[in-house]
Structure 1
Amino acid sequence: MRKILIIFVFVLGSCGLYAQDQAIAHQYFNDGNFEKALVYFEKLHRKNPMNQNYIRSLVYCYQELDRLDDAENLLKEQLTKSPVSPVTYIDLGYNYGLKGNEKEEDACYDKAIASLDERPSYAYSVGHTFKNKALLDEAIRAFKKGMELDPNLNFNYDLAYIYGEKGDLENMYETYLDLIVDRSNLKENIKRNIGRFIFDDEDAESNALLRKILLKRAQTQPNILWNELLSWLFIQQKHYRSALTQEKAIYNRAEEPSLDGIIDLGMIAYDDNDMETAKSAFDFIREHTSMADTKLEAELYLLKIRILSSTPDDYAAIEKQFNALLETYGANQTTVALQLERARFSAFTLDNGAEAVKILKTMLEEPLSKYERASVKMELGDILVYMEQFNQALIYYAQVQKEMKNDVLGQTARFKVAQASFYKGDFEWAETQAKVLKSSTSQLIANDALQLKLLISDNTLGDSLQTALKIYAKADLMAYQEKDEAAIALLDSLLVNHKGEDIEDEALLKQASLFRKKGEFEMAEKNYVKIINFFADGILMDDALYELGMLYMEDMNSPEKAKPLFERLIFEHQDSVYFVEARKVYRKLRGDVLE
């Protein structure tokens, strides 16, 4: 019994040492310390000479240490053993390639591919080994041959990816599209892969090629799949009107028509400020739906679009339309969104805050869900701030903050407490709330909170009376109240009377955003340029670079002026909240294929 126990302890200890050697070998290997990794892999290989992972790790170490003859000898030794893996031929060929022996290299690759004649199933490992070594032409040969020998094999997904890596976009698109027909479950993955080669610019060569291929298939192979992909392509390019044409075709040709695609497109176009397409989409939905809730949603969006372009002459007709919809659908839980929009219209367009407050307080008397009640209270707070009734607004925001503590809406309410306190001139309390929100789970709220906190802290240390900050807060409130002209004038006086103070760059940035909103692009440009030229070390430098770049891109049709601004932001402000988006825009301007 004691002898058995001793043997057991010995075996257990040996296993422990073996596992330890494995761990150390892999650690050195991952750290790039190939000399030390080699010592342990040689030891492991002696104990288990058939383990392919050890062999390949040894070969890799030899190659990294420029011991190509040792790698060659080890691989040739493996070819004397049975069974021979075709992957070994690839490894040996690759090693010949490192030695500059192209003839032997090609011969080894040919042998690996020839092995598929006997075992087509090897195509997977052979193709992927070639692919992982960036031997893309050989990978294509292997995958294609495997599929020819065994029709049950399908490597089109791998082939399409490889074509993309080679820049052979036509074959990539054709292969992916063939695959979608056979494997519809891969459609979303394939769209993501194709999306790497799609740009916002509809005239980009890769976009034009895909559009051409899809249109040809739509004409020769009737299938609403091609309409779906054309719609998706147009949406990527922000060409929403063309996408709507495709969505209508899908609706008209589908065996079971659905408006979901048109609803989604309408919302996307609305959010991206393409009101013409959004209106067309929601008009179509209103005319073709038999569902009351869908029709109401379309009516609401059409009303919102009408309000955006309305003039005082339209206000009476819009009010009449609100009343007609509420009479049709009722002022109840199903029309919460409509009633909220009506309150916004009364407050922010008609400047009738009292009527808006009355509407919202009446809604709070009705049975609402927790989230709906919070939304109504948030709207009440916003309108009371607009009316400069800050204390009442703070009460509603605080209630939402408490009731929705673990929801983003609760964090938004806390930020609105900070913002309302700032407008009110209670900078200490506003800064306290903003400090808490710097770690918000919502990045957008966290960024806004940090910006507000820095605005207050940077402009209170040197000004005990906070005179300049109070003027800025008043101008900020005016901007919230849509009193843009008055806000611009007040900021002008601030820039004259407090020139050289810390608030100057903040005032320039705020005023620039108002100029841009009013379409006074050259005035906005001057402000951004001033920040860049005179406040290069300030915290708003990245804001100015990004906003001026977007101004050139979106409003002034000067992408050549935008490019150096994004480049500067990327290389000089890597901690900026705009870094990721700036890099994406810059790469598009440069013509890169985006991952």
Structure 2
Amino acid sequence: MKRAIILFNLLILSLFSYAQQNEFIIAENYFRNNEYEKAIQLYKELYNQSPYNTNYLKRLITCYQETEQFTTAENLLTQKLKEKPNLTYLHVILGYNFERQEKIDNANYHYQIAIKSIDKKTNYGSLIAGLFKNYNKLDFAIEVYQKVMLNNPKANYGFQLAQIYGEKGDFEQMFESYISLVDKNDNYLNNVKRYTGKYINDDSENENNILFKKALLRKSISNPKDIWNDLLAWLFITQKQYSKAFIQNKALLARNPDNLGKINELGEIALENKDYETAKKCFDIIIEKTNYPQDKFRAINNNLKIAIATKQPNIDERFNTIFKEYGINSKTLFTQIAYANYLTFTKNNPQKASLILKNALTFANSKFIKASIKLKLGDVLVYMGKFNTALIYFSQVQTQFKNHYLGQEARFKVAQTSYFKNDFKWAKAQLKILKGSATQLIANDAADLFLTISDNEPKDSISSGLKEYAKADLLAFQNKNDEAIAILNNIIITFKGQPIEDEALFKQAQLFIKKKQYDEAILNYARIIALDKNGIYVDDVYYHMAELYNNELNNPEKAKEYYQKIIFDHPSSIYLVDARKKYRKLRGDDI
């Protein structure tokens, strides 16, 4: 019997709770739609049912204020304070009610009561500060948080304080607060990087960057810790000052060998951003100090990439030295892949590369490494014009790794190879799948090639120039740039006025840039704009022109002109965000 009564009571309670929740949802909808009179009726019922629910009370008071029923709100709060004088946070709400009526003295009187009450009731400090923040009384919120931390040394409201300083535009104090937070507890480091990262950028002369750096240096002098080196390195990486970041990370490594990972990470970032000198310094340290063979060989391979990119002499000898020292085996598989790539695309010796890769397949002990070898072997075969054999290798990877990045890459290579051999229908079928399901980089490449084929497919057996364009694309893939430029030139003349013309001009401009023939590239871009100011390539042209003037020709005024064209004339362009950021930087704005 008792059990039945308990179950019945629980059922009644759950039904009551459900009904109350439903009423709250309806009230919230009225509130969000500014239907305050309707919301008042529901919030009154909810508050009467649950008089200790602060949310109901605050919502009800806000509704009264929005409908200018200030006296009703005041009476309700006064009555509540008479019943429960210990609920000192209500003085903030009451004070704000007076402020809404421009009764500033009355408002400040109640604000001060709330602030002073923290000395006796510290547990209300966070609530009182939060209310001040919500009412945009930021100085009062700061005062409360500081008072709470003074009264209770274990309390830590560093994040809240920093965010308030940020809202006030007091970035110096904001950075000081974030740094003090890390000073108290290293575990806040990643959160501090995330929040601070919203206010700094890649410009070392930006005011916020300078303020943050000064705050770090002050703290590192007054209280030396490894964490300041870490934050300085992070700042320098953000500013693309990789050599300065290297100094900080090297200092960390000297104190703790476990920091070798930071050196490795910096090397990868520097390599990606073509700071080859810093990248090599990092990888040299990894080769010397790491205990992990995988990291060592990755660093060796990265140093070889740097040697190739910077056209250092005796590259073949460097590869052979590595093979003599470590052997041609499973340990050096990725070095073998790198060597095959170098032999094919730099030395024009795909036959030797093919033999190296086929041999590597015999002792690869991982299906993922085997797939990587097959993809590279397929590339080499495409280079040699052996499309059907290449398709076999690509298709094997695609089948084995259907929902993996490797499978998506293989599918794109199948499509690209089919395009090279003029099987445009099959290429489009593969690209259509990739456009929506692949990773962003592959999806973008797939979409571009899909549009190239779709816009220029031959109709009724009449040549459209697509076969010739695919041939030029293949030559560009083979790094035979002069031959590709010559074919594109013929396309531009032969198919003048047809859709393929702007494609050919754009492709040729990219190859001119690769050969550092910038004047020729600019002429091509100008011809594309002259063909059609609203063409599909116009925003690409403007962005590439801006980048050319900004990065290669040291002409920031011209660069600004073309970034600005994207911002004002092409607001839906994929380049908009980058163009706006770079334009503001060139103009000297704080970003």
Per-residue displacement from partner, 1:227-249 (whole Å, max 9, x unpaired)?
Answer: 11111110000000111111111
Q: CA deviation at 1:300?
A: 2.0
Contact 1:505 1:535 in 2 (8 A): no
Question: Residues 117 and 149 of structure 1 are in contact (CA less than 8 Å); yes or no, is this contact kept in structure 2?
Answer: yes
Contact (CA 8 Å) 1:197, 1:593: kept in 2 or not?
no
Say whether the 8 Å CA contact 1:459–1:466 is kept in structure 2: no
| 1:317-466 map, 5 Å | 317-460=314-457, 464-466=461-463
**Residues 456, 464 of structure 2: 8 Å contact kept:** no
Contact 1:232–1:243 under 8 Å retained in 2: yes
Distance in 2 separating the partners of 1:46 and 1:365: 79
Residue 331 of structure 1 aligns to which amino acid in structure 2? I
Change (3 A) 1:566 1:131: farther
Give 5+ residue unaligned stretches, structure 1.
none
Structure 1 residue 192 displacement after superposition: 1.0
Match of residue 140 from structure 1: 142
Instruction: Name 1:152's counterpart in structure 2.
Output: 154
Cα 1:333–1:64 shift into 2, 3 Å = farther
Q: Corresponding residue for 1:278?
A: 279
User: Are residue 120 (structure 1) and residue 117 (structure 2) matched?
Assistant: no
Residue 247 of structure 1 is matched in structure 2 by 249
User: What's the offset of the Cα at 1:302?
Assistant: 1.6
Instruction: Tell me how far apart the structure 1 counterparts of residues 554 and 99 of structure 2 sit (CA, whole Å).
Output: 50
Instruction: Show the 5 A alignment for 1:395-544.
Output: 395-460=392-457, 464-532=461-529, 534-544=531-541
Distance 1:64 1:209, change over 3 A: same
Residue in 1 that maps onto 2:200: 198
Structure 1 residue 552 corresponds to structure 2 residue 554: no
Separation in 2, partners of 1:126, 1:592: 37
Q: Residue type matched to 2:539 in 1?
A: D
CA offsets, 1:483-511, max 9 Å, x none? 22222232222222222211222222222
Is 1:39 the counterpart of 2:41? The answer is: yes
Classify 1:320/1:20 alpha carbon distance in 2 versus 1 (closer, same or farther; 3 Å). Answer: closer
Question: Structure 1 length as normaliser, TM-score?
Answer: 0.91
- RMSD of Structure 2 on Structure 1 (CA): 2.8
Q: CA deviation at 1:592?
A: 6.6
Q: 1:441 to 1:425 in 2, by over 3 A?
A: closer
Check the 8 A contact 1:511/1:524 in 2, yes or no: yes
What SS does structure 1 have at the residue aligned with 2:83?
A: coil
Residue 585 of structure 1 deviates from its aligned partner by: 4.2
Q: Superposition pairs for residues 44-123 of structure 1, below 5 Å?
A: 44-123=46-125
Distance 1:9 1:415 in 2: 59
2:264 paired residue number? 263
CA contact (8 A) 1:286 1:299 kept: yes
User: Once the 2 structures are TM-superposed, how far is the Cα of residue 563 of structure 1 from its aligned partner?
Assistant: 4.5
In 1, Cα distance between the equivalents of 2:24 and 2:523?
64
- Report the alpha carbon displacement of residue 298 of structure 1 after superposing the two structures with TM: 2.6
Q: Give the Å deviation of 1:155.
A: 1.3
**Range that drifts further, 573-582 or 58-67:** 573-582
Shift, 1:588, TM fit:
4.9
2:43/2:59 contact within 8 Å kept = yes
Q: Distance in 2 between matches of 1:413 and 1:542?
A: 30
Range 21-30 or range 428-437, more displaced: 21-30
Give the 3-state SS of the residue equivalent to 2:363 in structure 1. coil
Gaps of 5+ in 2: none
The count of residues paired between Structure 1 and Structure 2 equals 587
SS of 1:467's equivalent?
A: coil
TM-superposed deviation, 1:144: 0.5
Shift of 1:273: 0.9
Cα gap change, 1:531/1:123 in structure 2, threshold over 3 Å: closer, same or farther? farther
The 1:14–1:221 alpha-carbon spacing in structure 2 relative to 1, beyond 3 Å, is closer
Residues 1:156 and 1:435: Cα distance change in structure 2 (over 3 Å): same
- 1:381 offset after TM fit, Å? 0.8
Instruction: Summarize the Cα distance change of 1:358–1:586 in structure 2 as closer, same or farther, 3 Å threshold.
Output: same
- Cα distance, 1:72 vs structure 2: 3.4
Q: Given that residues 25 and 41 in structure 1 are in contact (C-alpha distance below 8 angstroms), is that contact kept between their aligned partners in structure 2? A: yes
User: 1:176-187 residue pairs with structure 2 within 5 A?
Assistant: 176-187=178-189
C-alpha distance 500-120 of structure 1, shift in aligned 2 (>3 A) = same
Q: Hey, what's the Cα distance between the residues in 1 that align with 2:148 and 2:163?
A: 17
Matched residue of 1:107: which SS?
A: helix
Q: Distance in 1 between matches of 2:271 and 2:470?
A: 31
Q: Report the CA distance between 1:562 and its aligned residue.
A: 4.1
Shift of 1:579: 4.4
AA paired with 2:285? F
Q: Percent identity?
A: 43
CA distance in structure 2 between the aligned counterparts of 1:215 and 1:169, rounded to whole angstroms? 16
Provide closer, same or farther for how the CA distance between residues 14 and 147 of structure 1 changes in structure 2, counting only shifts above 3 A: closer
